[in-house]
Structure 1
Amino acid sequence: MKTPQEYEQAWETFWHDAPDEAGGVFWDSDPSLSAGRHQSHFTPWFDPGLPLVDLGCGNGTLTRWLAGRYPRVLGVDLARAAVERAARDDPRGVAEYRQLDAGDLAAAAGLHADLGDMNVYMRGVLHQCEPADRAPLVAGIAELLGERGRVFAAELAEAAKGVLMGLATAPQGPPAKLGAVLGHGLVPGDVADAAVPGYFADAGLKVFARGEQALVTTEFDAGGNAIELPANWLVAGRSEV
């Protein structure tokens, strides 16, 4: 288990070393294959008048896509190297970017004080957290939402472990982009499917909707098809109104 400092440093070095080109990172798929597929799940629940936060924004690919659909979008990430890259890749400034540890309740409260209630889009962040950090992360998200905000969270399903293990232990070695993730010590954790809604319930949030939607990667199988990882999604918040 990593200390918080080791965990943050692993992400800093990953984004420092990550290639600049679009799709150069294992999960950096085209928005039409990620947030575009999720849009129909979260749009009915998000108040379009609230700011939208892309939590775990990385290089900002999805942040910029979301910014074309909501009036104020902020990308946040634990790694300063990630938000600096996201800002560099957004010369027109269609979105805002800020370094944030959402699991730090005081930091989350500070952002809420700045922006008020907000919606949160999160893809594949919870399963990358150390087990002890998952509940604090969701508590921080609840702080960001306030009374009117909603969170859309897409996370790897238990079945994704078999797919990832098969890729990681292939005779020829893991695909290069997955190898880069593993090489920085960023190993996806086991999160039971049934446990994910519980994190949100424990943070005082109600799950309004949930379903299944595979996460598309930027690696391809022998047949030239994009590798997809089984995943589940949910929408949660404090109030249905």
Structure 2
Amino acid sequence: MIIPPIFGAIQSVRDGLEKRYIASYLALTVVGMGSWCFHMTLKYEMQLLDELPMIYSCCIFVYCMFECFKMKNSVNYHLLFILVLFSLIVTTVYLKVKEPVFHQVMYGMLVFTLVLRSIYIVTWVYPWLRGLGYTSLGIFLLGFLLWNIDNIFCDSLRNFRKKMPPIISVATQFHAWWHILTGLGSYLHILFSLYTRTLYLKYRPKVKVCSLPRSVCACVHACWGGGGYWEDGTEMGEASGWKGSRESTGFGTRCP
């Protein structure tokens, strides 16, 4: 949740992608760093660094999803204002009431908005994106479900683990699964959003899964190339003036 999005942001800069996608990657990194700091210290301040960026990053994701079908580099100031105001209200209220349920409900509202928007896209706009769209949503929602189960049945799960063998006890650490699944689901969601956006801009996007040499992890990444045309007949290129086929990955590596 920390390192891969950094490479994604770097590659997005290199490819001249819109700043909101760079912000999406960096927001995911901030969430990962906040969660890391909180679980190392278990301090209230670090808990805020973990939980509040979850709200902010989801607001960025919502903005990206609702701006997928606009002209390149357009800015929706009305939607920006609403999301910034929402973030400020949630932050202010949460600092005063210190009620975890409030944070969970607000976060759930944002996730629900993303779910509805994603379903709309894969149902009515780009049905062939159902695989990526439903995979990202399914992984994320599974993590979200396990997180809530862990919150609600924490005491019962602790007692259950005491009676089970170590391997089963580890497998029922739903909070750990929450971090793994939502981190992966969020990363895939950014790729889904990028895929949708680049399809609209006629960049011929592709999504590949590959194992990287000299790496212990597999990568999931999006590849896209130029070749689309604007209404005046001019070819779509990136900010650098590049034309033709290019492959770019969320991990900052070329496709093998």
Normalised TM-score (structure 2):
0.29
Higher helix share: 2
Normalised TM-score (structure 1):
0.31
Higher strand share: 1
